[in-house]
Amino acid sequence: MSSIIQLLPDHVANQIAAGEVVQRPASVVKELVENAVDAGATEIKLIVKDAGKTLIQVIDNGKGMSETDARLCFERHATSKIRQAEDLFSLHTKGFRGEALASIAAIAHVELKTKQDQEELGTHLIIEGGKFISQDVAVLPKGTSFSVKNLFFNIPARRNFLKSDTVEFRHIVDDFERVALAHPNIHFVLTHNGSEMCNLPISNARQRIVNVFGGKTNEKLVPVSESTEIVEIQGFVGKPEFAKKNRGEQFFFVNNRFIKSPYLHHAIMAAYDGLLKDGSQPSYFLFLDVPPHTIDINIHPTKTEIKFDDDQSMYAIIRSSVKHSLGQFNVAPVLDFERDASLDIPYEYKDKESETPLIQVDANFNPFADEKPARSFSSSSGGSHAFGSGYKKESNQPGWESLYVGLTTATDEIDVKEIQFESEEVTGSLFEESAVETSSNKTYQLQKKYIVSPIKSGMLIISQKRAHQRILYEQFLTNITVHHAASQQLLFPLELHFSPSEMIMLKELRTSLENTGFVFSAMTTEIVVFTGLPSNVTESEVRPLLEELLHDLQGELPESSFSQSDRIAKSMARSLAVKTGAYLTEKEQENIVNALFACKEPNISPFNKPTFITLGVEDLDKRFAL
């Protein structure tokens, strides 16, 4: 019987490995940029075309590779980072598996140019789909230039599953920022389709954060510093008043490697306990330096998760460090028993006795000296007056009795029969009909969450939040597609600051946002200026609305314009809809009920959840049946 197990060819094995290592263009960016960092580069330039689908090029001024190393680096499990298994527990570099370049070369057209500093000539090497095409000697500058073209050209199924250029480029920016934040001592440049998107010069950690996320970030940061035997912590956390609804600006770096840790994130949230609104997320940029032998990096394919030897101690140290920093910089209330030296008594006054201040009183002061005496009750003092010689007793006498003349006779002559009153019949007909109509359509708010309205067959119970979402969703979708949204002009322009990566998405969404009622006055690399807003959006709601919109769209922005409009309408409806716990007047309740049943799809919310239920009389009868 013939055997059915056989070894896979190298090109097939490399393609399978590439599916694990290279999930999207951002994966290639991460591997190449990290290799440039490991090569000791002080300047790294990333050039991208069509969100990495056409070209990804990383140019560095690192130490470069020899001719042999340039050929050998594309072999599987070939690496310069480790020599034996024990080295896995003493890692000081980004990469160590030796799989990335082999996987990338198997699914793309790769061109490598590299030269070492002490060599006169470099190496120019071309690989297509894992096959060596050429290897030549060339005159090159010091360092390495790695070009990856036509990614997934031989795996069309994987290429078809890539998302739009906006989404893929957003993932590239995320990975680029993570490496750039961890290495402020390296100059990074990012170029997309010929336009320079980021230029981050060599700086300190705080300035690098400001360069990445915009100039307004500086005022939001609170420094954190702690040194223990287990971990040394440096970095910054955001002030509570600048917390956002999304988790975009949250970074943990362990030994200059970006990681994700829900456990340590919980420690940060515990430090902010009582300082944040519900649903808000603080920003933080924490750099943890731990002994390499106390962590295990090789537990996740993307190396973004780390296993600590002592998780509980890490949790406690991070929580206390962040809480101490918030209190030290007067962000959180703390008890401070230290003496304030500014309140001490100066030495020259220490032995002196206090002197009683002199009080001077003007005995001749009369506050009524300039007041005109025109008080009638002063005349009863037997002719004497207290308000000056100009007062005359008779000056206020004439004609005061005339005010009451004829008062008694007038009341006697009033004929009550001649007074005309509104007929009771008219008054009753004016209010009785409306009262009957109101009572039949009267609505009630239950637990500030539901609207209850009686109907002929029983009662209608409406979720105020979902109903309002449906109403706003159809309004925004109509405005975007028909282009007739109304705007309210602002008395003063509204200026908002965003990070450069967020500005990229806002420029993509500008047309759709204008169709909903936003009026853009100016857009720069970090600032957006509005002169008009949609009629149902207030100035205080603009920033949370746009932040939530960007958060909703950055991961799954569809390519078609209609789908993009649909996503924008859903996000804005969710942000602006009345929340659970909000009190509604009877008029507001009726408006929601009427507007809901005027919608095209009143039965479900934009997120496919029911907006109302009906409770019939028979259902109530069953409840009361014995």
Element of type H or E holding 587:
helix 586-596
pLDDT for residue 419: 66
> Of 449, 562, 439, 574, whose CA–CA distance to 511 is shortest?
562
The percentage of residues in the chain with a pLDDT greater than 90, rounded to a whole number, is 26
Distance CA 288, CA 303 (A): 16
Given pLDDT bands bounded at 50, 70 and 90, which one contains residue 187? very high
pLDDT for residue 531: 92
Task: For residues 107-112, give the mean pLDDT.
Answer: 92
Distance CA 435, CA 430 (A): 9
pLDDT for residue 93: 62
pLDDT for residue 350: 64
Cβ contact 483:514 at 8 Å:
no
Q: What are the tokens at 376?
A: 């009638």
Given pLDDT bands bounded at 50, 70 and 90, which one contains residue 625? confident
Distance CA 30, CA 180 (A): 11
pLDDT for residue 551: 78
pLDDT for residue 291: 86
Which single residue is written with the structure tokens 């002080």?
A: 42
> Of 289, 270, 275, whose CA–CA distance to 329 is shortest?
275
Task: For residues 476-505, give the mean pLDDT.
Answer: 82
pLDDT for residue 337: 54
pLDDT for residue 288: 92
- Indicate the residue type of 159: R
- Of residues 304 and 489, the one with the higher pLDDT is 489
pLDDT for residue 215: 77
> Of 125, 353, 319, whose CA–CA distance to 237 is shortest?
319
Distance CA 150, CA 128 (A): 10
3-state secondary structure of 577: coil
Task: For residues 265-269, give the mean pLDDT.
Answer: 92
pLDDT for residue 430: 39
Distance CA 167, CA 163 (A): 6
Distance CA 324, CA 237 (A): 11
Q: What are the tokens at 299?
A: 């537990």
**Mean pLDDT score of the chain:** 79
| Sign, CA torsion 137/142/146/147 | negative
pLDDT for residue 558: 43
Which residues are within 8 A (CB) of 274 and not within 5 positions of it... i.e. 6 or more apart? Answer: none
- Indicate the residue type of 47: I
Task: Report the range of poorest mean pLDDT among 40-54, 361-375, 407-421, 458-472.
Answer: 407-421
**pLDDT tens for each residue of 333-371:** 555 555 555 666 666 666 677 778 888 888 888 878 766
Q: What are the tokens at 134?
A: 């050429």
All structural domains of the chain, each given as residue ranges with its CATH number in brackets, are: 10-200 (3.30.565.10), 205-328 (3.30.230.10), 452-613 (3.30.1370.100)
CA 132 to chain centre: 47
Cβ contact 511:562 at 8 Å:
no
Which single residue is written with the structure tokens 């061109």?
A: 111
Distance CA 26, CA 178 (A): 12
Q: What are the tokens at 494?
A: 């509204």
Half-sphere exposure at residue 556, Cβ-oriented, CA atoms within 13 angstroms: 5
pLDDT for residue 547: 83
- Of residues 319 and 537, the one with the higher pLDDT is 319
> Of 44, 363, 54, 15, whose CA–CA distance to 186 is shortest?
44
pLDDT for residue 581: 86
Task: For residues 261-285, give the mean pLDDT.
Answer: 88
Half-sphere exposure at residue 626, Cβ-oriented, CA atoms within 13 angstroms: 0
The percentage of residues in the chain with a pLDDT greater than 70, rounded to a whole number, is 76
Distance CA 21, CA 30 (A): 11
DSSP 293-337: GGEE-TTSTTS---EES-HHHHHHHHHHHHHHHHHHTTSS-----
> Of 350, 302, 15, whose CA–CA distance to 175 is shortest?
302
pLDDT for residue 556: 52
pLDDT tops 50 at residue 435:
no
- Of residues 17 and 35, the one with the higher pLDDT is 35
> Of 501, 464, 442, 470, whose CA–CA distance to 173 is shortest?
501
Given pLDDT bands bounded at 50, 70 and 90, which one contains residue 399? low
- Indicate the residue type of 503: M
**pLDDT tens for each residue of 446-461:** 888 999 988 888 888 9
pLDDT tops 60 at residue 560:
no
- Indicate the residue type of 11: H
pLDDT tops 90 at residue 171:
no
Task: Provide the pairing of β-strand 612-616 with 221-227.
Answer: unpaired
pLDDT for residue 286: 94
Angle at 111 between CA 110 and CA 115, to 5 degrees: 140
pLDDT tops 70 at residue 19:
no
Given pLDDT bands bounded at 50, 70 and 90, which one contains residue 387? very low
3-state secondary structure of 147: strand
Cβ contact 294:243 at 8 Å:
no
**Backbone phi, then psi, for 538, in 5-degree steps?**
-90, 165
3-state secondary structure of 245: coil
Task: For residues 620-626, give the mean pLDDT.
Answer: 80
Cβ contact 500:214 at 8 Å:
yes
SS3 content of the chain, % helix, strand, coil (to 5): 40, 20, 40
> Of 122, 168, 129, whose CA–CA distance to 23 is shortest?
168
Distance CA 600, CA 484 (A): 19
pLDDT for residue 422: 58
> Of 532, 531, 568, 563, whose CA–CA distance to 549 is shortest?
568
Q: What is the Cα gyration radius of the chain?
A: 38
**pLDDT tens for each residue of 90-105:** 555 655 455 678 888 8
Given pLDDT bands bounded at 50, 70 and 90, which one contains residue 261? confident
Task: For residues 590-601, give the mean pLDDT.
Answer: 91
**pLDDT tens for each residue of 33-86:** 988 998 889 999 999 999 899 999 999 998 888 888 888 888 776 665 555 555
Task: Report the range of poorest mean pLDDT among 209-218, 399-408, 525-534.
Answer: 399-408
3-class SS letters over 168-222: HHHHHHHHHHHHHHHCCCCEEEEEECCEEEEEECCCCHHHHHHHHHCHHHHHHEE
Distance CA 478, CA 24 (A): 35
3-state secondary structure of 126: strand
